[in-house]
C-alpha cells in the first residue's frame, strides 16, 4: 500500500476488506499484516474504540499492533517517534576510555546508548545530542 492509498482509506473501506477476508479465511487463520496496517492508518481520523467496534477487533490488539509498527518504524502515525541515525562527533567522545564507569542512556522510544566516558569528553553535550531526536 502506498501513501496515496492510505489517504483514501475510510473506515467503511477497511470494514469491507475485513468482511472479504473473514468470508474466505480458514479456521484459526491470523489477520494479515495488511489489514492491521489499514486499521492502524485509521487512527488519525477515528478512535481506537470506534475502529475496534466497526472492524470487530479487540482495542488492545489494535494498540499492540500500532506500538509494534511504531517501534519497527513501519508506520507514521501522528506523534510517533521516527527512528533516525545520529552521528556523534569524535571530540564529544574522546579517545581514551575510562575503565571505571559505564553510562547508559535510554530515550522514550526505547533507543539505548551505552558508552564508557572518556577523559575530556563532554558528557552533557553527548547526552543532549542523543536525547534531542
Cell of 66: 500500532
Task: Give 2's pLDDT tier (boundaries 50, 70, 90).
Answer: very low
What is the extent of the structural domain holding 41? 3-72
One domain for residues 67 and 120: no
Segment 78-120, tens digit of pLDDT: 444 555 666 666 555 555 444 566 778 887 777 888 877 777 6
pTM across the whole model: 0.49
* Structural domain includes residue 18: yes
Residues 67 and 96 in one domain: no
| Any domain includes 84 | no
Closest CA to 124 of 110, 105, 107: 105
Rg (C-alpha) for the chain, rounded Å, is 21
7 shares its domain with 61: yes
Amino acid at each position: 500500500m502506498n501513501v496515496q492509498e492510505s489517504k483514501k482509506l475510510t473506515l467503511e473501506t477497511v470494514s469491507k476488506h475485513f468482511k472479504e477476508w473473514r468470508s474466505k479465511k480458514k479456521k484459526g487463520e491470523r489477520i494479515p499484516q495488511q489489514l492491521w496496517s489499514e486499521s492502524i492508518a485509521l487512527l488519525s481520523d477515528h478512535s481506537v474504540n470506534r475502529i475496534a467496534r466497526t472492524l470487530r477487533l479487540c482495542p488492545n490488539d489494535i494498540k499492540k499492533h500500532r506500538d509494534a509498527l511504531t517501534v519497527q518504524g513501519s508506520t507514521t502515525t501522528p506523534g510517533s517517534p521516527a527512528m533516525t541515525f545520529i552521528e556523534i562527533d569524535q571530540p564529544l567522545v574522546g579517545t581514551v576510555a575510562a575503565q571505571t564507569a559505564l553510562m547508559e542512556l535510554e530515550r522514550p522510544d526505547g533507543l539505548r546508548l551505552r558508552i564508557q566516558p572518556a577523559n575530556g569528553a563532554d558528557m552533557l553535550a553527548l547526552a543532549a545530542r542523543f536525547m534531542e531526536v
